[in-house]
Amino acid sequence: MKALRFENKELKLAEISKPNFKDEVLVRVLKSGICNTDLEIVKGYANFKGTIGHEFVGVVEEAAGAPALVGKRVVGEINAGCGVCARCVKNDSRHCPARTVLGIVGRDGAHAEFLNLPSKNLFKVPETVSNEQAVFVEPLAAAFGITEQVEILPDTRVAVIGDGKLGNLCAQSLALKSRNVFLIGKHREKLSLVEKRNIETVLLEKVKTLTRDFDVVVEASSSESGFDLALDLLKPRGKLVLKSTFHGEAKWQAWRVVVDEITIVGSRCGRFAPALELLKNRQIDVESLISEELSLSDGVKAMKRAAQKGVMKVILSITNV
């Protein structure tokens, strides 16, 4: 099969063997989405080597332990746990110490014709959710997952820093809980995508007009400068939610966190079931985030395109290789 792989510090389309894990489900990938984490991996993030990609929708080809899944359209949670540790027993493998992570840690990913995941990781896609929408389930779950960790009430003042794909989804998700959500970014055209979603938008050049009275600030800019800006916006005892993953060391003024008693919350993966419901009920707009769709055969080109300024989501069509 064809797969987009990062090996020996080189990104390339390669011919590899189809995965053959008899105790897992074989999924034929229909479409996959290029994520900022994919771009960071080719810079050295996570020291991953293999097939990249973790956002996908596909059809189950083989499922020895779950025959009812065969032929079904599915998406999949990316963390595959050991199944026996305390976290896995509680049906949450996101922090299993022995977990593999699709296209990120120890497991080949979704920018390929086929992939493997345990059956418990897979969720059927509702008929009313398109393939293009389904590709966004993973990042939407990550965005909405903030509400698992931080209580968001109607009066909670929330600022999201970063007008890219993740920042957009975070702002839309949190606006379902709060009527006081602000999205801060550098690009007027990107900010305009959420203006009809009960979200205030602020250009970075005008951010000084905001007062330091936010209860929660979400850093989703994939930029080191976002940390300092967050501290400029948070009121004492506010909560800073970190969503960005980037290759490099962040420098920040720890004394500000101490003096203002700021709570820092790392936030990574969320649950898929709520994300699917949001898409099914059309509560979140993801179609406007799609910039381009290319074939897996053009995977290297697609990655370069996704890294260009102003580009949002680039989708790979695996069925048109």
Cα-only R_g, the chain: 19
pLDDT, position 234: 98
d(CA 191, CA 161): 11
Q: CA-to-CA distance for 241 and 294, rounded, in angstroms?
A: 33
What pLDDT is stored for residue 193 in this prediction?
96
What is the reported pLDDT for 224? 78
CA distances from 76 to 102, 130, 141, 266 (A): 9, 15, 11, 22
- The pLDDT of residue 22: 84
Give all domains of the chain, ordered by start, each with its CATH number.
Answer: 2-138+270-317 (3.90.180.10), 146-266 (3.40.50.720)
Sheet-wide strand order for 106-107: 79-80, 100-102, 106-107
Could you tell me the end-to-end alpha-carbon distance of the chain, in angstroms, rounded to an integer? Answer: 10
Please give the single-letter amino acid code of residue 138.
Answer: E
pLDDT at residue 144, rounded to an integer: 98
pLDDT block averages, 10 residues each, the chain of length 321: 96 95 94 96 92 98 93 98 96 96 97 97 98 98 97 98 97 98 97 94 95 96 86 97 78 89 96 98 98 97 96 91 51
